[in-house]
């Protein structure tokens, strides 16, 4: 083997070893530090007890209730499958509102609700002017209405 090929092999082997080591570290990292639980998991009764974890979901429309004169806020999170009641005592990010995706950090209380000590807003990677967003929303609504109409007329035809 030529010296250059030897060096190449050494670099390659070292790189492979590192990749394996990092992959293993990442798995451990994923299971512990990044402890993230799906809402449907919690609904199924698999919520971790006595430890902090993260949940993520959309704030359900009309679910936000505030205690007058206090920072205390209660809302419901949904992952479009199951729901979870969350209570939080602190300052909410500017982006927090109904329909917004958020990440909450905290733990379950004995009543089966999630008590958050941190609420972060998660905005998506789409950027567009407000007019475009409005138009998109209108189109979506119109499409939905048209589909509904079609269904209705189909149902009538069937009768």
Partner 1 sequence: MWKFFHKLASPPHFYRLAPRFVLGFGVVGCVLIGWGTYAGLFLAPPDYQQKDAFRIIYVHVPAAYLSMMAYSIMAISAGIGLIWRMKLAHSVAAAAAPLGAWFTFSALVTGAIWGRPMWGTWWEWGDPRVMSELLMLFLYIGYIALRVAIDEIGKADKASAVLALVGAVNIPIIHYSVEWWTSVHQGQTVVGGKMAPEMLQPLLLNILGFTLLFGAMLLYRVRTEVLHRERRSRWVKAEVLQTVGAP
Based on the shown chain and the rule CB under 8 A, indicate whether residue 138 belongs to the binding site for partner 1: no
Residue 34 or 147 with smaller CB distance to partner 1: 34
DSSP annotation of 51 reads S
Based on the shown chain and the rule CB under 8 A, indicate whether residue 26 belongs to the binding site for partner 1: yes
Alpha-carbon distance 53 to 42, whole Å?
11
Considering only residues 89 through 108, tell me which ones interact with partner 1, judged by CB under 8 A.
91-96, 103, 105
DSSP 84-115: EEEEEESPPPTT--TT-EEEEEEEE-TTS-EE
Alpha-carbon distance 61 to 40, whole Å?
19
Stretch that binds partner 1, among 43-51, 70-78, 109-117, 118-126 (CB under 8 A): 118-126
Q: Which residues bind partner 1 (CB under 8 A)?
A: 4, 7-8, 11, 14-15, 18-19, 22, 26, 30, 33-34, 36, 54, 56, 91-96, 103, 105, 118-134
């Amino acid at each position: 083997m030529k010296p250059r090929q030897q060096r190449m092999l050494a670099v390659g082997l070292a790189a492979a070893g590192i990749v394996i080591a990092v992959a293993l570290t990442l798995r451990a990292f994923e299971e512990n530090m990044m402890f993230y639980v799906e809402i449907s998991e919690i609904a199924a009764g698999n919520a971790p007890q006595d430890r902090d974890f993260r949940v993520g979901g959309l704030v359900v429309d009309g679910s936000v209730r505030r205690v007058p004169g206090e920072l205390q806020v209660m809302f419901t999170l949904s992952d479009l499958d199951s729901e979870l009641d969350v209570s939080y005592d602190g300052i909410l990010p500017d982006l927090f509102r109904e329909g917004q995706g958020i990440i909450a950090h905290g733990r379950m209380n004995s009543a089966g609700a999630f008590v958050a000590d941190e609420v972060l807003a998660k905005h998506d990677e789409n950027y567009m002017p407000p007019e475009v967003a409005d138009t998109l929303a209108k189109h979506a609504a119109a499409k939905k209405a048209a589909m509904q109409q079609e269904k209705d007329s189909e149902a009538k035809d069937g009768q």
